[in-house]
Amino acid sequence: MEITTKQILKILYVLSWIIFVGVCVEAGGFIFNTFFTLVINNVDAKHFWPGIDFSSLYRYDPGYFFAETLSMIIVAVMRALIFYLIIKVLHDKKLNMAQPFNSEVGRFIFALSYLSLGTGLFSWWGVKYAGWLSTKGVTMPDIQNMRLGGADVWLFMGVVLFVIAQIFKRGIEIQRENELTI
């Protein structure tokens, strides 16, 4: 029994939807809980998200609380955008195996590389900021629980995708040159 590319793409489409819904819930939860804590009930900083107790940070300074949660929100939204783009390219069937070097796929890979680089930079910033707050005596939750871990992996993936995007860009140029000579 051989699994075809079409079947793999269908499986990836379903998995992408599942992950997309999860990261959207996470991003929405971070946005809602930040707003709720800052505007309605600051006691909820203790129960910000499973595994995340920001009560010490909120007591230290609500502005610092907002800055840290903003980095978490940006990272979560960027991850959601990555999976949105994956779903969109799979749903719109922009992956043409007969002519893989097309401008849609090139833009898709460039967008993924920029979002991955941005996710890595904001994750790194959030981790450094949390470390700086810890030096000020603020009890901070674990970086993994704040969903900021892996900045180096995101940066690495962004660079790799950027290189692949450049290769695709050159492939598109060669394909257009060949089409013009025929």
Q: What is the pLDDT of residue 43?
A: 83
Q: Percent of the chain scored above 90 by pLDDT?
A: 72
Of residues 3 and 129, the one with the higher pLDDT is 129
Residue 182 has pLDDT above 70, yes or no: no
Q: What is the count of structural domains for the chain?
A: 1
Q: What is the pLDDT of residue 136?
A: 94
SS (H, E, C) the chain: CCCCHHHHHHHHHHHHHHHHHHHHHHHHHHHHHHHHHHHHCHHHHHHCECCECCHHHHHHCHHHHHHHHHHHHHHHHHHHHHHHHHHHHHHCCCCCCCCCCCHHHHHHHHHHHHHHHHHHHHHHHHHHHHHHHHHCCCCCCCCCCCCCCCHHHHHHHHHHHHHHHHHHHHHHHHHHHHHHHC
- Region 137-159: mean pLDDT is 94
Q: What is the pLDDT of residue 132?
A: 97
Q: What is the pLDDT of residue 130?
A: 96
Residue 95 has pLDDT above 90, yes or no: no
Whole-prediction pTM value?
A: 0.90
Domain extent, residue 146, equals 5-181
Residue 22 has pLDDT above 90, yes or no: yes
